[in-house]
Structure 1
Amino acid sequence: METDALVRLLAAPEGEHLECKQFGNKGDFDELCKYVAGIANSGGGVIAIGISDARPRRVVGTKAFPEPGKTVASLQRALAHSVRIDEHALDGQRVLSVTIPARPPGTAIADRGKYWYRVGEELLPMPDAVLRAIHAEVESDFSAEECVGADVSDLDEVAVAEFRQRWARQRPQLRIDGLRPDELLRDAGLLTGDGRLTNAALLLLGSHAALTRFLPQAELVYEYRATEAAGPAQDRKELRQALLLSLEQLWAAVNARNDRQSIQDGLFRQEVATFDEGVVREAILNAVAHRDYRLAPSVFVTQHLRRLEVTSPGGFPNGVTEDTILHQQVPRNRRLAETLARIGLVERAGQGVNLMFERSAQQGKRAPSFSGSDRHHVKLVLDCMVSNVALLRAIERIGQEDLLSFRTEDFIVLDRLSRGESISAELSQRLLPLRERGLVESVGRGRAVRYFLSRRLSNQIGQRGSYTRRRGLDSGAAEALLLTHLRSVGREGVAISELEQVLPGHSRSQIRASLARMLSAGTVRMLGSRRWARWAAISEDA
């Protein structure tokens, strides 16, 4: 933003698109995130930092956010929304302008799991009705549109027979075996209102020639790469044919290199397939059902020794992100997804993604990852190395009744905590229920709270040492460790920043509390005051 444009903007009244903030010298990043999300959700606008809130506004300047580039990057990580920050000199004072684009269609910007929006000058929690309206801003259903020029003769007879058999097994009472092809397609919703083929019909049942002519992008490319090295794949298949036929060939290709991993469970040894058929099929069907067919690239299925990657064009559908994919289902090709569910190939209501996560957790594998996705494509990575069987066995010992009541998010949270990984805002809502079950413990309060596996669960999976490290020392042990260090450095003492290195699992406020108790007990003394204070041990001889 140009400085002149900022000056003109500041003359206007505050509203949904303008916020003036003074901020302290250090700035409040959490508060900034909250306002950026609210303004983005309300159509975009500007935050002017270093300007008084009340009119007539005054330039007060600011030392907040001294490195705007780093602040922009932090906002992008926190909100998945790009902003621009410019520095200005007004009346000899430093002023910042934060230019915030409007949210993308169908997507509400979340700040730590909460949605905000502007009503006049106020920043308020977003009502459910507003959030639902945003998520309803979905794209048109390409799969339900007419495939212009195609007719029943463009369908593969083998694929149509397979479709009939699958649907008949799902709904035997419909007497599907006796339907003519046109009746079969009409009852399945694969014809438009005036009886023409939909794109979904061609995607599911089309011949190679018809797909090449009408939908050449509807191609599944399989590659096997034994190493990470660039160059030609060891095996490659380009499948441009009815999806019902491609799916079987793809699984056959994956299963041909599907070794089994041996797992020791007490005195017994069992084997687990590296690539689970249900998970692999769901990953491929999810890519096909939700890709953007208006884009030219194909869906790629790349198999490695212990990893499978499925990449589909078009990014996430509006309203869906990596963090919300378990809860927010917005099918980009609804007609295709409904037809796949009708014949039993995918789960209804988006449960297929949940099943991928649950099956992976139940086999001791990492949760599926969408972290490599961007606005141009969705990349699903299945890490199929069995690496956390101990946690699964420990959960099973807790009781079958408890295990049946587990939600998908519970498996993911326990797996991430056992690996020492962070918990996203979306998953953090499951921490309290897991703590009530005695599976998770916590230390600290407010923003300093930390969660980790309970002592019982940690002991069962052989992580007793990790439990002690994550829980931290009790107050007596912590004070003894502080005193030992202070005695080693002598009379000059040390700053509290050095003591934070002695107790990395403790917050600064916890260390201050320990020092206050030691000061009262006469074992330490404070040299100097406030931010320049240093701490030293009192000699035992004194």
Structure 2
Amino acid sequence: MGRYFSALSNEANLLGLKAAYFLLGVDNDKTISGTKISDKQVNEYKQEIAAHTSPNIGFVKVSPIDTKDGKVLVFEIPAAPQGMPIAWKGHYYARNGESLTALNIEKVERIRNQALASDWSAQIIAGASIHDLNEDAIAKARQMFTVKNPRLKDQIQTWDDTTFLNKAKVLIKGQVTHTAILLLGKAESEHFISPASSKISWILKDRDNLEKDYEHFTCPLLLQVESVKAKIRNLKYRYIKDQTLFPDEVDQYDPFIIREALNNCIAHQDYTFGGKINVVEHEDGRLTFANSGSFIPESIEKVIEADTPETNYRNPFLANAMVSLNILDSTNKCRCIYLLNLRTQ
């Protein structure tokens, strides 16, 4: 039943239906034979399905139908959510005619690409206004935009905030987007993107992986990236090269790589999961950056074999805004860093 649940949920999504149906008590030739499954067993099925599907979903409802030939149970299965194919115990299933089969790569990509076509970061927030944005963050954004566009320096100074943020591709015709709240919103404005979260957590762990310290940061993320970076204890190392008595001094971690990793986590997180970005500093000389969401290219091997940037991004509006504000470099904006370990060399 779990395999059929996965298959029917995925096929309902691909056909644009709200639900699919699984019937017990009907034979393959469509004659009714009835079922003696009890309500207790039905509840056990519900629990088992909800526990082993990924993402975890269950039946919409189970409807008994009494006929002269016996009882029929109709299990209503919800269509897979946009962008998220349904797996049963880690495997995706589909229907091929009347047969149960694996969900092929083409169908998996069709479902996953639905999330890309519906850009969460570009959605307009009803009820939010430019007054919900942080003035210091807007000033910083204007400064960074000017660095990116030096030829427009004189014009930029004459623009009001709404005009500037439209030009910077943060607002859409003066309307506040999810991107605007993430990058420039006041801390108390985070509720506008709920159940998504703008939080970044810095966590310090000792050599036994025990937590020693932590701090949480929220929007405006444009200003908080530097605050997170400042928490990381970037030690200085001195090396003496051959044939010299004068040491070279280097940072434990390259500041550019820290900033690049963190900004990519912001740009490519799947905010529909409601998760937060974690920056874990290990005392044995490692940094781990992690965010929510699947790895768009599917595997590291695929990235290496293709040796080209991804053609699809999760949050194109957000990524473009970050490029416009000189936060991300346009050639690097698609480095989907979902888990990056930095070690001292």
> Same-fold call, TM > 0.5?
yes
Deviations 1:410-455 (A, max 9, x none): xxxxxxxxxxxxxxxxxxxxxxxxxxxxxxxxxxxxxxxxxxxxxx
SS in 2 for 1:252: helix
For residues 405-444 of structure 1, what are the structure 2 equivalents within 5 Å?
none
| Number of residue pairs aligned between Structure 1 and Structure 2 | 241
Q: Distance in 1 between matches of 2:260 and 2:124?
A: 26
For residues 194-233 of structure 1, what are the structure 2 equivalents within 5 Å?
195-215=174-194, 217-230=197-210, 233=211
Match for residue 143 of structure 2? 165
Q: Structure 1 residues 160 and 315 mapped into 2: Cα distance closer, same or farther (>3 Å)?
A: same
Worse-matched range after superposition: 342-351 or 243-252:
342-351
Please say if 1:100 is aligned against 2:59.
Answer: no
Deviations 1:260-284 (A, max 9, x none): 2333432244232111111001111
Match for residue 342 of structure 1? 324
Please say if 1:283 is aligned against 2:283.
Answer: no
RMSD: 3.0
Match for residue 314 of structure 2? 332
Give, in angstroms, the shift of residue 100 of structure 1: 3.2
SS in 1 for 2:157: helix
Higher strand proportion? 2
Listed as ranges, the gaps of 5+ residues in structure 2 are 2-89, 94-98
Q: Structure 1 residues 250 and 137 mapped into 2: Cα distance closer, same or farther (>3 Å)?
A: closer
For residues 143-542 of structure 1, what are the structure 2 equivalents within 5 Å?
143-174=121-152, 175-193=155-173, 195-215=174-194, 217-230=197-210, 233-254=211-232, 257-268=233-244, 269-305=247-283, 306-317=285-296, 319-325=297-303, 327-329=308-310, 330-350=312-332, 353=335, 378-382=338-342, 384-386=343-345
Give, in angstroms, the shift of residue 213 of structure 1: 4.5
Q: Is residue 313–residue 334 contact of structure 2 (8 Å, CA) maintained in 1?
A: no
Q: Is residue 289–residue 331 contact of structure 1 (8 Å, CA) maintained in 2?
A: no
Q: Structure 1 residues 139 and 314 mapped into 2: Cα distance closer, same or farther (>3 Å)?
A: farther
Question: Match for 1:334: what amino acid?
Answer: P
Deviations 1:382-437 (A, max 9, x none): 2x221xxxxxxxxxxxxxxxxxxxxxxxxxxxxxxxxxxxxxxxxxxxxxxxxxxx
Match for residue 57 of structure 1? none
Give, in angstroms, the shift of residue 308 of structure 1: 0.6
Q: Is residue 159–residue 245 contact of structure 1 (8 Å, CA) maintained in 2?
A: yes
Q: Structure 1 residues 263 and 157 mapped into 2: Cα distance closer, same or farther (>3 Å)?
A: same
Q: Is residue 190–residue 198 contact of structure 1 (8 Å, CA) maintained in 2?
A: yes
Give, in angstroms, the shift of residue 98 of structure 1: 11
Q: Is residue 205–residue 282 contact of structure 2 (8 Å, CA) maintained in 1?
A: yes
Larger RCO (CA under 8 A, 6+ residues apart):
2
Q: Distance in 1 between matches of 2:268 and 2:106?
A: 18
Please say if 1:140 is aligned against 2:118.
Answer: yes
Q: Structure 1 residues 304 and 339 mapped into 2: Cα distance closer, same or farther (>3 Å)?
A: same
Give, in angstroms, the shift of residue 334 of structure 1: 0.8
Give, in angstroms, the shift of residue 145 of structure 1: 1.0
Give, in angstroms, the shift of residue 286 of structure 1: 0.6
Worse-matched range after superposition: 268-277 or 344-353:
344-353
Q: Is residue 145–residue 199 contact of structure 1 (8 Å, CA) maintained in 2?
A: yes
Deviations 1:216-258 (A, max 9, x none): 511111111132333xx3221111120111111011111xx11
SS in 1 for 2:169: coil
Q: Is residue 346–residue 352 contact of structure 1 (8 Å, CA) maintained in 2?
A: no
TM-score, normalised relative to structure 2: 0.62
Question: Match for 2:239: what amino acid?
Answer: I
Deviations 1:485-515 (A, max 9, x none): xxxxxxxxxxxxxxxxxxxxxxxxxxxxxxx
Give, in angstroms, the shift of residue 288 of structure 1: 0.7
SS in 1 for 2:125: coil
SS in 2 for 1:237: strand
Listed as ranges, the gaps of 5+ residues in structure 1 are 2-80, 85-96, 109-133, 355-369, 371-377, 387-542
Q: Is residue 223–residue 301 contact of structure 1 (8 Å, CA) maintained in 2?
A: yes
Question: Match for 2:286: what amino acid?
Answer: R
Q: Identity, % of aligned pairs?
A: 25
Question: Match for 1:302: what amino acid?
Answer: V
Give, in angstroms, the shift of residue 155 of structure 1: 0.2
Question: Match for 2:223: what amino acid?
Answer: L
Q: Is residue 291–residue 339 contact of structure 2 (8 Å, CA) maintained in 1?
A: yes
Deviations 1:277-327 (A, max 9, x none): 11001111111100111111111111113111111011223x453234462
Q: Distance in 1 between matches of 2:344 and 2:264?
A: 22
Deviations 1:502-530 (A, max 9, x none): xxxxxxxxxxxxxxxxxxxxxxxxxxxxx
Q: Is residue 168–residue 325 contact of structure 2 (8 Å, CA) maintained in 1?
A: no
SS in 2 for 1:340: helix
Q: Structure 1 residues 104 and 220 mapped into 2: Cα distance closer, same or farther (>3 Å)?
A: farther
Q: Is residue 298–residue 313 contact of structure 1 (8 Å, CA) maintained in 2?
A: yes
Higher helix proportion? 1
Q: Structure 1 residues 137 and 302 mapped into 2: Cα distance closer, same or farther (>3 Å)?
A: closer
Q: Structure 1 residues 191 and 106 mapped into 2: Cα distance closer, same or farther (>3 Å)?
A: farther
Deviations 1:51-109 (A, max 9, x none): xxxxxxxxxxxxxxxxxxxxxxxxxxxxxx9589xxxxxxxxxxxx995322265749x
Larger Rg, first or second structure (1 or 2): 1
Q: Is residue 106–residue 136 contact of structure 1 (8 Å, CA) maintained in 2?
A: no
Q: Distance in 2 between matches of 1:83 and 1:204?
A: 36
Question: Match for 1:332: what amino acid?
Answer: R
